Structure 1
Amino acid sequence: MANVHDSAGYEQGRSDGFNKGKQDGFVKGFEDAKAMLDNPPLNDISLKWREHHCAEQFAPHFGTSVVLNDQKMECLKETSKSAIWKLEVLAYKQASPIILKIFKPPIIDEKLTELNMYRKVSSILPDLMPTIYLILEGMNGDDVWAFMEYVPQVKGQVIFTPDHFDQIIPSLAKLHALTYNDNFYNKSDVFEDWLPRYESEAVSAERMKHHEKTLEYLDKAMDHPEFKQRLSSSYNDLKRILKKGPIYFPELIQAGKSITHNDLQTPNMGCHNIAEPNWNIKFLDWEGARFSPCWFDMFNLVGVFFAYRKDWRADEDLVIERCANLYAAEMLKYGISFDGSPVQLYKKAYLERVLERSLYHQLLWAVDGTKPAHLLDEYVEKIKVWGKELGLY
């Protein structure tokens, strides 16, 4: 009988021990899971931040070393070329958002242009570019990490209308004036050979290639019934005009060159004080930066807006007159004056950019079917009307 009781007690004890261990394990697992939620493992950004002592390197900008909030990180955008993160740092117990842009290898062409704008030009244009806090090379192989000021995009802060051009043009004129002609050449050591220049051999060769391709794809488009119908009434005029290229208005070069941004959409313009009467615009995303005729950016700002916004077309002529004259007046504040009508300079810049590049892309997309050629009719109409007004045919 003693053996039976001993055996039953053993089994009961083993069962109790198993259940107790199971319960303890559950409690410990729950506690560990909660601790992990409260203090998750550091991600790659947090680890690299500590490894490279970034907190101390931020001190000159914030007046003290900062603390990275490891719990507040948001990936805003990621492509095969780059990733953009919104982070948060604490300085004097105050939280400040910052941007981390990760450039993925290979670092060539547009990415190199944008990186060099951050490396070398942000100090020349401090009020017009985000403050660059720190650039780290060779991260995770050949990645380059650029930490910079967070500037809220204009997009999302306002419902954008042509009236808002008046808030942007003063900052655009300041950008152009600070890098206009001799102001650029006097700092040639800063720009060296990395910033594409409109009259350089490489850019001129690219322009000639686009010119030849435009003529080629204009003929190819005429082999497509849909596009033949859309182009037939303008085909002969387009051929005559294109044969005058690829430089259609040399007076744009004579009017002066500056650093141009070339992609002036509302996501690429930031502003901290949008509630105030006068905006302090900072331009974002500089991969398209060039040294080119300054009036090109007025096409990039105003012309592209109206090309896509049919709902505002009825106001286009009045807005162009207002904006072209405002731009000329703002440039005059810096001692820069233009010969001739500002409105005509704007129209020439519009046609030059369309004829040397934009028309080619519309024809290419039309023929190959890679994208919808939404702007083809708008561009052809502008070439027809303004081309006649400006003496192209």
Structure 2
Amino acid sequence: MNTFRLLARRYDTLRPVVVDIAAGHIQSIQADFAHQTSAGHLPIVAPGLIDLQVNGLAGHELNHPHVSPDDVEAVTQGMLQAGVTHYLPTCTTDSRELLVRSLGVIATAKESLPRSRQSIAGIHLEGPYISAEDGPRGAHPREHVRPPSLEEFKQLQSAARGHIKLVTLSPEYPDSIELIRYLVQQGVLVAIGHTAASSEQITAAVDAGATLSTHLGNGAHPSIKRHPNYIWDQLADDRLTATLIADGHHLPTSVLKSMLRVKGLERSLLVSDITALAGMPPGIYRSGLGEVEVLEDGKLVVAHQRQLLAGASRDLLYCINHLRSALGLSIENAIDLASLRPAQHLGMASHGLEIGAPANLVVLSLRDLQLHHECTILGGEIVSGNLIA
């Protein structure tokens, strides 16, 4: 294991510190009094970012008939280059056969490839047990939407070799609650998403153990009943933590601000929902969701229209910067939404900038009020970029 010393500013106080790293862990954190009055040039060190919703990256689609372990490893490398130390590869609504294959490939990568073994914290199954209605269904293919099946989920979890950690589903089906209870008993997180459920169905889902709302405010009807509705219901339930896509496309600033005020920082977290088309030039592409289009501003939509979104093209660091510029959040609060909050839900109690914690860190520079990735440290090893200062 590498042994090295990092001179940087803490993300939560912006005070300069010396961080000693050895044997994969943070050995000490000491105040750097020599730079107390001239710390502005130092980088910022923070806990590594954690993304619970990653569909693909740079042409590598995880829910694809020909996905390979090397594709998964490439996505992992791309996450590390963006400061994400841990993530959940996400498989979306499709046929049982394709899901079985994709889940198996991701499990193989997690178990056998070096970076994926360290970074993949589990698998997110988004669908196929979601609403079939236009709007809530989003870009998920209607022909593969189906009611929950305990028998099918057991087959999918077997294909994933037990690595499914999070399931997004709609509680609007008669068998939804039975599946939620089973998932919770098995230690699988349950999120409500892509739903047209009633107030009573949402309450029943939370009573059964659902704890998250997947990209709240998206995967919804363009027009809904003023009240009650499934967005208000999830906002109002303090047992649910809202995952939010803060890329400037998925939620208007006023909506994002309102949701964060209602949920509070302690019941909110950021996800990217990033896809294989992130970084691709404008145009129409064929994906597992059908024809999708990258618009001139990077917005990703179902092809031939401009409103129905088809995933995202921005990473978590972009979302952090958007939150800071649009809502004025501090560096600490914005980063916590993409690091400590998701870590808590994954049971990663020691994920943080503290003595004894695993050295899973991101080093950032601050230029023109924007945070920029400089270096990612995973398990005490520099795996992307270079230390600066």
TM-score normalized with structure 1 length: 0.22
TM-score by length of 2: 0.23
> Over alpha carbons, which structure has the higher Rg?
1
* Larger fraction in helix: 1
Whichever structure has more strand as a proportion of its residues is 2
